[in-house]
Amino acid sequence: MISDGPTMQYRSKENFFCLSSVPFELGFKKVTWNFLEAGHGKGAADGVGAALKRRADVFASRTDIPDGRMFFEKLIEEKSKIKLFYITEGEIEENDRSIPDQLETVCGTMEIHQISTTKSGHINWRILSCFCSAPDYCLCFAPESVVLNKAQKKKTTMKTESCQGMLNTTPEITMSLVGEWCVVCYDGEAYPGVVQDIDEESVQVKTMCIIGVNRFFGL
Ligand SMILES: [Zn+2]
């Protein structure tokens, strides 16, 4: 998605939550929302809004348009080329009810220009958009990750998500792995570590400690 972004309207945690949940319900695997500064030519998207506003002015000069439904019906009658959807108040309320009350606040909201997510309820955000490694996620401009739904909140590390494509599983455990980096999943968390020793049944790994989002310490 690409939109304007100077207002809080789009940068609320509720909106971030919708972005990180609804598309997955619809079958999307990756989502990104990019906020452009005001007046930086969005072309078509801006044009659509402006065209509809002009139609509203034309209708209003001829007749009363008391509500959105009437405006929508008038536009449908006109066979507008713009694909239009009418969203009822009930649908909006229903959507509001699906948003958890306890959402994590996203610090630095006003600086955000890109939000990306590959996991429901989780977002990565950064101050500038980057697509240098598309379709994979890059780590340019120091992205931060946030788990929005406090109820399901677990500390997550962005490394586990963003580097997915670079992790290989080993077909067999051999002594050649000693000294190699690996990731250990323990209690729902991912810890980077170095293989210390191997025996027939087990692998000894020295891992780093998590000291914050996407931050590790030790070794
Ligand atoms: Zn990049």
Residue ranges of domains in the chain: 2-152, 161-217
Six-digit token pair at 88?
């009822």
- How far does the centroid of ligand 1 lie from the alpha carbon of residue 132, in Å? 4
Most confident among 41-55, 58-72, 154-168, 171-185 (mean pLDDT) = 58-72
CB atoms within 10 A of CB 148: 26
- How far does the centroid of ligand 1 lie from the alpha carbon of residue 133, in Å? 6
pLDDT of residue 22: 92
**pLDDT band at 18; cut points 50, 70, 90:** very high
- How far does the centroid of ligand 1 lie from the alpha carbon of residue 156, in Å? 21
The residue that leads in pLDDT, 147 or 154, is: 147
pLDDT of residue 154: 47
Six-digit token pair at 60?
């209003």
- How far does the centroid of ligand 1 lie from the alpha carbon of residue 130, in Å? 5
Q: What share of the chain in percent tops pLDDT 70? A: 86
pLDDT in tens, 83-119: 889 999 999 999 889 888 888 888 777 788 999 999 8
Q: What is the DSSP letter of 118?
A: S
> Which pTM value belongs to this model?
0.58
- How far does the centroid of ligand 1 lie from the alpha carbon of residue 159, in Å? 15
Q: What share of the chain in percent tops pLDDT 90? A: 27
**pLDDT band at 155; cut points 50, 70, 90:** very low
pLDDT of residue 214: 80
pLDDT in tens, 181-193: 888 888 778 889 9
CA 154, 149, 105, 109: dihedral to nearest 10 degrees? 100
- How far does the centroid of ligand 1 lie from the alpha carbon of residue 143, in Å? 10
Q: Output b/e per residue, 169-184; b: 16+ Cβ within 10 A.
A: eeeeeeeebeeeebbe
**Chain mean pLDDT for the chain:** 83
pLDDT in tens, 119-134: 888 999 999 999 999 8
**pLDDT band at 42; cut points 50, 70, 90:** low
Helix axes 44-62 and 68-77, enclosed angle (nearest 10):
100
- How far does the centroid of ligand 1 lie from the alpha carbon of residue 192, in Å? 23
- How far does the centroid of ligand 1 lie from the alpha carbon of residue 60, in Å? 47
**Positive or negative: CA dihedral 120, 122, 127, 129:** negative
- How far does the centroid of ligand 1 lie from the alpha carbon of residue 185, in Å? 27
How far apart CA 37 and CA 39 sit, in angstroms, is: 6
Residue 124 sits at φ, ψ, to 5 deg, of -115, 135
CB atoms within 10 A of CB 158: 18
- With 80 as the cut, is the pLDDT of residue 157 above it? no
